[in-house]
């Protein structure tokens, strides 16, 4: 028997209102428990929005659902339940729920973001870009970098990837979690081959923004599934509620708590960039494609200086919001002439956060 159970209660109950732990088919738990009371042998993990807040080892009534996960051999179904999945096409409250899940679990999955036609174009474009990068950099240098199938500065090789920066659900998520002045820290294509996991950075648990600033959210990721994500295809391993923690978890704990993100192609996996995660092992017999975006507050230095990496003409031909995302409005001056330009032509414009 696993130690998984759901606490079901009405919202806004008082802190000492008794509620009942409803055992699922694998929980073996059915005794009543009082809100605010310790849950012996269990660690408290957040459920999706409308759920109890993360409060360590107690169950506190702040919403409609909570999940208790015992740390010895939690089931796959139990761990999957810790990550919100919501369809942005059919759920008008998807953004509210996603924003709440970012605070509790530190991650969520939004389905229905990219349509089939764009996915088909993206798959073709990613393989074209991969060939161009190999021709430019060389296979040996790429191998020495210790990466597997990472495609960098893909905007320079195919204009299709500008379109990802115009997707309405993505922009809404950025506005809700950071600000409308946020910028792209990095946009990488990822072609994960079907092979035994190697000891490279992607397969090691890590944080994309390893700086915890008293809970202040500085960076978020939006990870697009170009192919179906599952345990078999090497779906990203997420560790719910591991975000905004100053202490580094033990590797065994990360492995035990990790959830393989499972979602259909066209989904957007979002997470706080301080969340611990890793690439899964792809055993499907085919490549698994994805595109990772990381966005930060406007004053954080980008991993790639896109305003120098891309032709100015290409940036200026894009919508104003895309220009801002690429850092066009937060460039650093290099001369007095640039410094004293009129406001509408300044490199670092006012109101950028």
* Terminal CA-CA length for the chain: 51
Q: Which of 157, 111, 168, 112 is nearest to 131 (CA)?
A: 157
Asked if 174 and 253 sit in the same domain, the reply is: yes
Domain assignment present for residue 337? The answer is no
Asked if 29 and 123 sit in the same domain, the reply is: no
pLDDT digits over 130-163, tens only?
999 999 999 999 988 888 799 999 999 999 999 9
Contacts of 106 (CB under 8 A, 6+ apart): 240, 241, 242, 243, 244, 271, 272, 274, 275
Q: Which of 80, 222, 208 is nearest to 164 (CA)?
A: 222
**How many domains does the chain contain in total?**
2
Domain assignment present for residue 99? The answer is no
Asked if 237 and 138 sit in the same domain, the reply is: yes
Please compute, for residue 12, the number of CA atoms within 13 A of its CA located in the half-sphere on the CB side: 0
pLDDT at residue 5 is higher than 50: no
Asked if 9 and 128 sit in the same domain, the reply is: no
Residue 192 φ/ψ, nearest 5 degrees? -95, 110
pLDDT digits over 259-314, tens only?
999 999 999 999 999 999 999 999 999 999 999 999 999 999 999 999 999 999 99
Asked if 58 and 119 sit in the same domain, the reply is: no
pTM strictly above 0.85: no
Asked if 286 and 200 sit in the same domain, the reply is: yes
pLDDT at residue 18 is higher than 60: no
Residue 30 φ/ψ, nearest 5 degrees? -150, 5
Which of 252, 272, 296 terminates a domain? The answer is 296
| Residue 192 burial (CB count, 10 A) | 25
Domain assignment present for residue 267? The answer is yes
Asked if 117 and 59 sit in the same domain, the reply is: no
Domain assignment present for residue 344? The answer is no
Residue 192 domain boundaries: 107-296
Asked if 45 and 121 sit in the same domain, the reply is: no
| Residue 238 burial (CB count, 10 A) | 28
Domain assignment present for residue 59? The answer is yes
Instruction: Kindly report the CATH number assigned to the domain that includes residue 161.
Output: 2.60.120.620
Query: Beta strand 65-69 with 288-296: parallel, antiparallel or unpaired?
Result: unpaired
Which of 296, 324, 342 terminates a domain? The answer is 296
Asked if 139 and 270 sit in the same domain, the reply is: yes
Domain assignment present for residue 202? The answer is yes
Asked if 16 and 60 sit in the same domain, the reply is: yes
Domain assignment present for residue 338? The answer is no
pLDDT digits over 35-73, tens only?
333 333 333 334 444 333 333 333 333 332 333 333 344
Asked if 195 and 63 sit in the same domain, the reply is: no
Let me know the angle formed at the C-alpha of 83 by 196 and 286, rounded to the nearest 5 degrees: 30
Radius of gyration of the chain (CA): 22
Gap between the Cα atoms of 262 and 228, Å rounded: 8
Asked if 123 and 48 sit in the same domain, the reply is: no
Residue 150 near residue 190 (C-beta atoms within 8 A): yes
- Written as six digits, the tokens of 338 are 């640039």
pLDDT digits over 112-123, tens only?
999 999 999 999
Which of 58, 75, 92 terminates a domain? The answer is 75
Q: What Cα–Cα distance (Å) separates residue 154 from each residue in 121, 163, 273?
A: 14, 12, 21
Domain assignment present for residue 20? The answer is yes
Helix (H) or strand (E) holding 173, with range, is helix 168-177
Q: What is the DSSP letter of 229?
A: B
């Amino acid at each position: 028997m696993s130690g998984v159970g759901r606490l079901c209660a009405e919202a806004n109950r008082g802190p000492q209102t008794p509620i009942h732990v409803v055992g699922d088919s694998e929980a073996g738990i059915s005794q009543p428990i009082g809100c605010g009371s310790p849950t012996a042998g269990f660690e408290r993990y957040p459920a999706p929005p409308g759920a109890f807040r993360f409060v360590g080892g107690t169950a506190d009534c702040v919403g409609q659902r909570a999940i208790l996960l015992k740390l010895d051999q939690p089931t796959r179904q139990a761990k999957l339940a810790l990550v919100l999945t919501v369809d942005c096409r059919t759920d008008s409250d998807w953004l509210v729920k996603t924003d709440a899940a970012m605070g509790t679990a530190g991650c969520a999955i939004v389905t229905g973001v990219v349509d089939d036609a764009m996915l088909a174009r993206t798959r073709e474009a990613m393989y074209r870009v991969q060939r161009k990068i190999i021709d430019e950099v060389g296979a040996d240098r790429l191998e020495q970098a210790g990466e597997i199938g990472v495609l960098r500065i893909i905007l320079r090789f195919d204009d299709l990837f500008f379109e990802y920066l115009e997707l309405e659900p993505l922009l809404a998520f950025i506005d809700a979690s950071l600000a409308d002045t946020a910028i792209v820290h990095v946009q990488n294509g990822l072609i994960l081959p079907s092979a035994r996991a190697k000891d490279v950075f992607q397969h090691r648990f890590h944080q994309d923004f390893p700086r915890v600033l008293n809970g202040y959210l500085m960076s978020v990721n939006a990870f697009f599934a170009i192919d179906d994500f599952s345990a078999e295809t090497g779906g990203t391993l997420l560790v719910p509620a591991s975000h905004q923690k100053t202490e580094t978890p033990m590797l065994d704990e990360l492995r035990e708590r990790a959830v393989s993100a499972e979602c259909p192609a066209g989904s957007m996996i979002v997470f706080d960039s301080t969340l611990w995660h890793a690439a899964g092992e792809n055993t499907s017999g085919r490549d698994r494609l994805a595109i990772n975006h990381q966005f930060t507050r406007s004053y954080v230095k980008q991993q790639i200086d896109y305003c120098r990496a891309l032709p100015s003409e290409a940036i200026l031909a894009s919508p104003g919001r895309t220009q801002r995302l690429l850092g066009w409005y937060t460039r650093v001056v290099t001369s007095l002439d640039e410094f004293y330009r009129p406001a509408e032509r300044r490199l670092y414009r006012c109101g950028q956060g």
